[in-house]
Structure 1
Amino acid sequence: MISLDEAVTARLESHGERFEVLIDPDAALAIKRDEFEGDLEDVIAAEDVFEDASRGDRPPETALEEVFGTTDPMAIIPEVIKRGEIQITADQRREMQEQKHKQLVNTIVRNAVNPQQDDAPHPPERVERALEQAGFTVDPMEPVENQVDDALDALRPVIPIRFDEVVMAVQLPADHAGSGQAQVREFGDLQREEWQSDGSWVGVLRFPAGLQNEFYELCNEVSSGEADVRVIKDEDDIGTR
């Protein structure tokens, strides 16, 4: 379950009665779109249906039976959400908007590059400033993934930006290959790997281009700065060195 502070109220008025449930806002939207795939118990603040959630008042069981054909809260909660309206306060809307904004910036930073600077990643601060300059406002009621394309359209007149993936090769020396390769191989999509005759390990990975700096940092960390890392510009060049 989630805390009351994280929940929004979904409300349905029917047959002269009011029914309210407390639910995570993103889960509520997913349920409304028939896209929810998780466990309902994990995204509600109470396994209950209220007449007035703020006071804790419950509707009569006869009303539940009349409107929903059951008194089971776990069966009724999705119906209230699908057939009713999602109520959020100004504070909840502001908090949701701030959270979605951070998620959007993080998504852009992880996946985008600057095509005018050899596909270097954009720092979060630059993306933040560009979104502000472009006047782009995140919709707190819409999933972040549905807003990325609109955000990119708004950003392109302000900064050079492109979503891309990068292929990078790393060679870890023998002294660090054993433990280091286990961490490196999980960073992205491992395209190929080889153990060299000197005991070193070579791996080639594909991942969002905005994570290049993080990959360099990881490789240096697991090898005490002795890793050899390079970007593969031509995928025909993927091979050992």
Structure 2
Amino acid sequence: MAGIQQPSGQIKLTNVALVRLKKGRKRFEIACYQNKVQDWRKGVETDLDEVLQIPQVFVNVGKGQTAPRDDMKAAFGHTDQDKIILEILNTGELQLGEKERQQQSNQLQTEIIQLVSQKCVNSKTKRPYTATMIEKALIGELKFNIVPKKSAKIQAMDAIKLLVEKQIIPIARARMRIRVTGDVKKLGLGEKLKTDMGATVEEETHDELVCSIDPGQFRPVNEFVLAEVKGKCKVEVMEVAVQN
């Protein structure tokens, strides 16, 4: 018995990750294997056959509708399908399923909370908070909204500002430890930083000064030192995260 023929221009695919690109008022899609698109973009995967389920440009993968040559010509200026596939793969928007979106959101939330817990302490005890306590205050109490396409670092800084402002728990930024090397004793730099910049001096010798400052003060402190010593000392960061 002859096999059932699919309608011309239609290919059925299942369990795919889609990459979509809108160009020239048209939508184009390619069908990829799960988790392979990011590997390709990071350079981890270099074999295109391992990324694509089929080397074909679609207008709708779900319906199996392949892209007409006229549409590709109008949008891309040519009909070289290999080049079009690469453009879509490299610049298109990855369409995630609900499960993948939730997993990605959970990973992002975990990363944000870890960053916050590394950069903050209990303002009363000066001890770090656990990730669980940060999550309860930030997500449970303040309903902090995780934005999928925004970096974890930027969102962690936004979260810290919110936590410090609302004080659901007594929280503050952990102080940054810096080292200043040069003629620090001769220049009386420790006392100047303590008096003028609010630094806490931990150790001072004739050629080295270790102190802690508010992280937001690093640039002013660096500029202050450079102005005071005129190139005779150097400032370097020792620690920026909480030490257990």
Q: Decide which of 138, 155, 178 is 1:147's aligned counterpart.
A: 155
Deviations 1:71-118 (A, max 9, x none): 30213444544xxxx644444433232121111111112222233223
| Stretches of structure 2 lacking an aligned partner (at least 5 in a row) | 1-13, 180-207, 209-236
Q: Is the 8 A contact 2:16 2:31 kept in 1?
A: no
Matched, 1:162 2:173: yes
Matched, 1:12 2:17: no
Quick one: which amino acid aligns to residue 208 of structure 1? V
Taking the aligned partners of 1:105 and 1:40, their CA distance within structure 2 comes to 27
**Same amino acid, percent of matched pairs:** 20
Distance change >3 Å, CA 22–CA 125, structure 1 → 2: farther
Q: Is the 8 A contact 1:8 1:22 kept in 2?
A: yes
1:231 maps to none
TM-superposed CA distance for 1:161, in Å, is 2.5
Deviations 1:147-183 (A, max 9, x none): 1222112212212121543469xxxxxxxxxxxxxxx
Q: Secondary structure at the match of 1:121?
A: coil
1:105 maps to 113
Distance change >3 Å, CA 162–CA 96, structure 1 → 2: same
Aligned residues: 159
Q: Which has the larger radius of gyration?
A: 2
Distance change >3 Å, CA 209–CA 55, structure 1 → 2: same
Distance change >3 Å, CA 164–CA 153, structure 1 → 2: same
**Alignment RMSD (CA, Å):** 4.1
TM-superposed CA distance for 1:138, in Å, is 0.8
Q: Decide which of 65, 68, 75 is 2:87's aligned counterpart.
A: 75
Distance change >3 Å, CA 75–CA 114, structure 1 → 2: same
How do 1:86-235 residues align onto structure 2 when only pairs under 5 Å count? 87-118=95-126, 120-131=127-138, 132-156=140-164, 157=166, 158-159=168-169, 160-166=171-177, 206-210=238-242, 212-213=243-244
Quick one: which amino acid aligns to residue 129 of structure 2? H
Quick one: which amino acid aligns to residue 130 of structure 1? A
TM-superposed CA distance for 1:22, in Å, is 6.0
Taking the aligned partners of 1:8 and 1:208, their CA distance within structure 2 comes to 40
1:52 maps to 60
Q: Secondary structure at the match of 1:161?
A: strand
TM-superposed CA distance for 1:40, in Å, is 9.4
Q: Decide which of 64, 77, 85 is 2:72's aligned counterpart.
A: 64
